[in-house]
Amino acid sequence: MDLWLTGASAILQLVLGGMGIYVALRPPKPDHHMQWISAFALVGVCGVALTVGLTSLADVAQKGTQDKLDLIR
């Protein structure tokens, strides 16, 4: 699960970078600005959501490891 979320997060970062390069090289028409802004916001929010999910999974794993260590003591 962690590997899939990490991969999806990496892909979203690449998409965001690609979108930035595309917009820098070929500026959108004025009537398409809002669409591009929305697309950037959507991809960015999805990336943040994946990062939060990964952090949550890492926290759960760390607590499980800590519980096992506490049993050993």
Domain ranges across the chain: 2-72
Q: State the residue for tokens 């952090």.
A: 55
C-alpha dihedral, 4 to 61 to 58 to 62, nearest 10°: -160
Which pLDDT value is given to residue 49?
94
C-alpha Rg value of the chain to the nearest Å: 19
Q: What is the DSSP letter of 26?
A: S
In angstroms, the CA 41 to CA 21 distance is 16
Please indicate, yes or no, whether the overall pTM of this predicted structure exceeds 0.85: no
Q: What is the pLDDT of residues 8-39, one digit of tens each?
A: 999 999 999 999 999 999 999 999 999 999 99
Which pLDDT value is given to residue 1?
74
